[in-house]
Amino acid sequence: MKFNARRKVWTLAATLPAGFYTYKIALNRSWDENYGAFGARDGANHELKHDGGKVTFTYDHATRDIVTA
Please give the Cα distance from 42 to 26 (Å, whole number): 9
What does the pLDDT look like over 13-38, one tens digit per residue?
Answer: 999 999 999 999 999 999 999 999 99
- C-beta separation of 69 from 58 below 8 A: yes
- Contact yes or no for 2/9 (Cβ under 8 A): no
Q: What is the mean pLDDT of the chain?
A: 96
Edge-to-edge strands of the sheet including 53-60? 2-4, 9-16, 53-60, 65-68
Give me the pLDDT at residue 24, please.
95
**The model scores a pTM over 0.85:** yes
2-68 CATH: 2.60.40.10
Domain boundaries defined on the chain: 2-68
What is the pLDDT, as a whole number, of residue 63?
A: 95
Q: How far apart are CA 20 and CA 31, in angstroms?
A: 22
pLDDT above 90 as % of the chain: 100
Task: Say what the pLDDT of residue 35 is.
Answer: 96
